[in-house]
Amino acid sequence: MMLVLFHPVAGETKQTARWQVTSPSLPNRRLLAPPPALAALMGTVLAGVDAGCGAVYTTLCPGRTWAEDADQVRAALTADLQGLLASGQLADWGRSAGGGSDQLPPSKGYRWQWAPADVDVAQVRQVAQDAVGPLAAAHGGAVHVLAVHGSVVQVKLAGACRGCNVSSSTVQDRLATALMAQVPGVDAVEAV
Amino acid sequence: MTHTELPEEHTTTCRVALVGAPNSGKTCLFNHLTGLNAKVANYPGVTVAKKTGTVLTGGRAAELEDLPGVYSLHPISPDEVVAVDVLRDTRNPVDAVVVVMNSTTLCRSVHLLADVLALGKPVLAVLTMNDELTARQGSVDVAKLSQALGVKVHPVVAHRGVGVDAIGADLADPTSWPQPTIMAPTQETQRHHWVQSVLTASHYTEPLPHATTRALDKVLLHPVAGLAVFFAVMFAFFQVIFTVAAPLADGLEQVLGVAGDSVASRISVPLGAAFVTDALVAGVGGVLVFVPQIALLFLMLSVMEASGYLARTSYLVDRLMVLTGLDGRAFVAMLSSVACAIPGIMATRTMPHERDRLATMMSAPLMTCSARLPVFVLLIGFLVPDDLRLMGFSAQGVAMFGLYLAGGASTMVVAAVLKATVFKSGLMPFFLELPPYRRPSVRTVLTQTWSAVSEFIKRAGSIICVATVVLWVLMTFPQHEAETAAMSESQASAYVLEHSYAARVGKAIEPVFEPLGFDWRVNIGLIGATAAREVFVSTLGAAAAAQDPEDPGQALADMRYTSGPHEGQVVFSGPTVVALLVWFIYAMQCVSTLAVMRRETGGWKWPAVAAVYMTVLAYGLAWVAHAVTAAVLR
C-alpha cells in the first residue's frame, strides 16, 4: 500500500502553510474546491485551500494560529490524501495524462476537483530565465520560451545548445524540473 | 574568531546548547568552535558530562554547552538525563540549541531535530560527516533539507574545521535564525511519515555500507579471530612499551640526573643539595621519567579510539561480559579505566540500570590505570632482567601484559560476583553503534596524547611532588647531628633515615605487612601511595638516593632488611616483589577515585565499601602470592 507522506514548509505569509506531499505524487494542478475533510474546516479554521507543484496550500482564518490548528489541518489533509489514494483517481490520471496533453485530471465522481491547466506564461519565462538562463549562457547558448499549449511548455534552444544532445537534455531536464516545481499546471517541456 | 578567554569588554550574551547523537562529531565541532580540547573519540558515550566553552563572534560572546550524546529527548540513562535536563531547565534556560546531525544516519538525526524543535527555542542544524557520506556514495541536497526542515542547515567537515566559521557567525544572534511555523507531528506514525517526507524532499540517498569497514570487520569482529587480534594488539603494545619507551626513559633519567647534580653542586647547604638530588631528582624525577610510557599508552588508546577499533572491542568483549551479568556498556567504562578510573566511573552514567552501574563502578578501579604503570615498570625491573627473552619477546613486556590481563580479569570476576549477589538484576539489551573505521586525525590523536601527558606532568608537579617532599622531610628529620658526626656520609644518611619520623611510622606498621615481606621503607612508600600510586616510586627513589646518591637504582635493588628475622637479606626478593605487584593490582590507593565515587553515588557508603573490599583483597592475595612464590623459589 502506498504511504501518504508530507511535511509542512513555510508559506508566503504567516497564515499560509505549504504542505509538501512527497507521496503520492500529485497532479500539478490547482484545485476547483477543497477536498472534503479540509472543506469541513473551511470558514472556521481555514480561509482557503489550494494545490499545485506537488503541494497543498492552506490558509488560516484571521485570528487562528498554527500552534493550535496545525494538528487538525494535518489530520484532515491525511484523510483527504488517503481518500485520494483509495479513490483510484491518481491511477486514472496517470493512464490518461501519460503524454502530457492539456487534458484535465478526471474530476467527475471524485472528491478532489482539479482545475484545468491554466499556466501563467510570464511566470514560466521568469522561472526559465532563473533556472537555466545562466547555465545556457555559460555555454554560449540561450533558451527561449515560445509558447504554452495546455500543460506543455514549448522552448527553443538557441546558439551552442542547439544540436548538442548533452546540453539540450540537461537544459530540458533542469527546466522541466524547475517549472513543475514552481509553476502550477506545467506537466512537460518540449523542445522545438 | 574563536577564543577560550573572554576579553573584559565582552559579556556572555546567550547560552547555546550543542545537542547530537553519540558519535555524530559533536565534540569535534565544539572543539573547533571554542578552541577547547574536549576529548573526542570514535565510540559512543565519551561526553558524559556537559562541557562549556565560549565563542566570540561579532563583538558578542556565546556560551556553548556540549551536552552528552542523545538519540532522542526521551532519556533512558543518566547521561541522557543530563542533556534533557539542561534543555528543559526553566530556571536557567538555554537561549538556543544547535543540533548536530550525522548525515550518514540522517533519518535518526531528523527525529532528534524534531524533538528539539518542539522545545520552542531557536534551532540551528549542523550537518556533519558529509565527506563520509559522499565517500560512501550517499547524497543529500542541503538547501532542500533546510527548506523542508524550516531551519538553517550548515554542512561542515568538523574534523577539518570546514564550514565552522559560518556557524560561529550565526551564534551571535540566535533570534535571527529562521524557525518553522509548524512543528513536526508528535504522534509516532505521523512523525515517522514526516521524517520520510523530509528525507524524500531533500533527495537523501543513504550511504552504502562502508566497504573497508565490512571487510575489516569480517576478521576483527570474528568471535575467535577477532579476540585473537585484540590480544595480539595488546601484547604488541606492551612489547613496544619496553623496547621503545624504556630506552627513552633511561635517557630522560640521565638528563634529569645531570641537571640535578649541576644544580645541587651550586647549593652550599648540604641539606639543600640533598633535597634537590633526593627529593626532586630521585623522587619526583623518578616519576617523571615515565613520561614516554604514559605518552605511548595514550597514543595507542587514542589511535584505537579515533579509528573506531575501541568500539569493536566492546562488541567483542560483550560476549565475555555476558558471563559477568553486565553488558558492553560496562566494558566501555572499564576500558576508560585503563587510562584512569575517574573517567571510567563517569562513563558509567551511560548505564540505564542503577544496579549495573554500581557493579561497574565498584569493579572498574581494578583495571590497570596509568598511575600503576610506573609502579609496575619499577617492580618488573627487580623481577625480570631486561635482556631476558621469551620466544623472542621482551620478558618484561610479557610480564606487563600479564599484569594488565590480571587487572582486567579481576575486574570481570569482581563484577560477576557483585552481579550474582548484591546487584542481582536481569540483562538489558545492549545496542552499540559501530562507527565505520576512520583514519585517525593527527590533530585529535596528538591533542589527546598531549593532554594526558601534561596531566601526568601536572600530577608530578602537584600532588606527587607535595607528597614526596612531605615524605622526604619526614625521612630526613630529626637530623641526629651528634650521632652521625663520626660517620661517613652514606652511613650518616642511612642512620638518619632509619631514625627519622617516617621510619618510626613505617616500623610501627611493620608487623602488619611483615607476612607480605614488606619492610619499613616499603611501608613508607605504601603510605605515600595512598595520595597517588606514583608516590610509591618517588618515595623509594628518595630513600634509595639517601643511601647512595651516585646510583639510587642499584641502592634500591640492594636494599636489605635492617632488622627482624630476615635481617641482611635483600628486600626486593622474588616473593616480596610479587606480593607488591599483587598489592598494587588490588589496593584502592587513589583518593581522587574515592572522591568521584562519592560524588557519583551521593554518599560515602559505596566508596567505603570499595576501599574495604579492595584492601582486603589486596592484603589477602598478596599474602598468598608471597607464600606461593617463596615456596616455588625454595
* Tens-digit pLDDT profile for residues B495-510: 888 888 888 888 898 8
Number of other residues whose CB lies within 10 A of the CB of residue A191: 17
Residues of B in contact with A22 (CB under 8 A): 196-197, 200-201
A-chain CB neighbours of B193 within 8 Å are 3-6
Using 50, 70 and 90 to split pLDDT, how confident is the model at B429? Answer: low
Q: What is the ipTM of this complex?
A: 0.88
Residue A9 near residue A44 (C-beta atoms within 8 A): no
Burial of B154 (0-12, 13-18, 19+ CB in 10 A): buried
Distance of alpha carbon B25 from alpha carbon B159, whole angstroms: 8
Provide the pLDDT confidence category of residue B2 given band limits of 50, 70 and 90: very low
Task: Name the residue facing B181 among A3, A10, A71 (closest C-beta).
Answer: A10
Q: What pLDDT shows up at residue B621?
A: 95
Q: Closest approach of chain A CAs to the CA of B191, in angstroms?
A: 10
pLDDT given for residue B3 in this prediction: 42
Q: Report helix, strand or coil for B301.
A: helix
Per-residue pLDDT of A15-40, as tens digits, reads 999 999 998 988 888 998 999 999 99
Element (H, E) at B97: strand B96-102
User: Which candidate from B148, B150, B181 shows the least CB-CB separation from A14?
Assistant: B181
Q: Nearest CA to B346 among B70, B82, B16? A: B82
Cβ-Cβ contacts under 8 Å, B178 against chain A: 10
Average pLDDT over chain B, rounded to an integer: 83
For residue B199, give how far its alpha carbon lies from the nearest alpha carbon of chain A (Å). Answer: 9
Search chain B and give the residue with CA nearest A69. B182
Q: How many residues does chain A have?
A: 192
What single DSSP character describes residue B44?
A: S
Interatomic CA distance for residues A56 and A62, integer angstroms: 19
Q: Is B574 on the interface with A (CB under 8 A)?
A: no
Percentage of chain B lying above the pLDDT 90 cut: 19
The average pLDDT across B540-557 equals 75
Q: Collect all residues of chain B within an 8 Å Cβ-Cβ radius of residue A23.
A: 196-197, 200
More confident residue, B72 or A74: A74
Closest CB to B201: pick one of A4, A7, A66.
Answer: A7
Query: Which residues of chain B lie closer than 8 angstroms to A67, CB-CB?
Result: 183
Which residue do the cell numbers 524550516 mark? B150
pLDDT in tens, B586-631: 998 888 888 888 888 888 999 999 999 999 999 999 999 999 998 9
Here the cell at position B329 is 556498556
Distance of CA B571 to the CA centre of its chain: 33
The pLDDT of residue A50 is 93
The three cell numbers locating residue B412: 570481570
CA angle in degrees (0–180, nearest 5) for B144-B149-B151: 100
Of the candidates B67, B18, B422, B472, the one whose C-alpha atom is nearest the C-alpha of residue B271 is B472
- Closest Cβ opposite residue B196 in set A5, A17, A70: A5
Give the pLDDT of residue A100: 47
Q: Sheet harboring A5-10: ordered strands across? A: A5-10, A16-23, A55-60, A46-52
CA–CA dist B373, B379 (Å, integer) = 10
CB contact under 8 A, B193 and A20: no
Tell me the per-residue pLDDT of B44-101, one tens digit each, with 9 for 90 and over. Answer: 445 555 678 888 776 778 888 888 778 888 777 766 777 888 888 888 888 999 999 9
On the question of pLDDT at B42 being above 60, the answer is: no
Q: What is the pLDDT of residue A46?
A: 94
What is the C-alpha to C-alpha distance for residues B277 and B274, in angstroms, rounded to an integer?
5
Task: Please indicate whether, in this complex, the C-beta atoms of B150 and A20 are within 8 angstroms of each other.
Answer: no
Q: Which helix (H) or strand (E) is B607 found in, with range?
A: helix B605-633
Chain A: give the shortest CA distance to residue B610, in Å.
53
One-letter amino acid for residue B431 of the chain: F
pLDDT surpassing 90 at residue A143: no
The model scores a pTM over 0.90: no
Element (H, E) at B123: strand B123-128
Least confident of A66-80, A168-182, B65-79, B148-162: B65-79
HSE of B11, CA atoms in CB hemisphere, 13 A: 1
CA distance A63 to B400: 75
Q: Residue B155 above 70 pLDDT?
A: yes
Q: Which residue has the higher pLDDT, A65 or B478?
A: A65
- What is the phi/psi pair of residue B157, to 5°? -115, 90
Q: Tell me, yes or no, if A177 comes closer than 8 A to chain B by beta carbon.
A: no
Q: Does residue B596 contact residue B346 with C-beta atoms inside 8 Å?
A: yes
What is the largest distance, in Å, between two alpha-carbon atoms of chain A?
Answer: 57
- Does the pLDDT value for residue B6 go beyond 50? no
The answer to whether the CB atoms of A78 and B198 lie below 8 A apart is no
Give CA separation, B66 vs B97, B206, B342, B420, in Å.
10, 27, 20, 37
Confidence of residue A104 (pLDDT cuts 50, 70, 90): low
Residues in B closer than 8 angstroms to A7, CB to CB, are: 148, 184, 194, 197-198, 201
Q: Is A2 on the interface with B (CB under 8 A)?
A: no
| Rounded Cα–Cα distance for residues B395 and B379 (Å) | 13
Say if B144 is an interface residue toward chain A (CB within 8 Å): no
Is residue B203 within 8 angstroms of chain A, CB to CB?
no
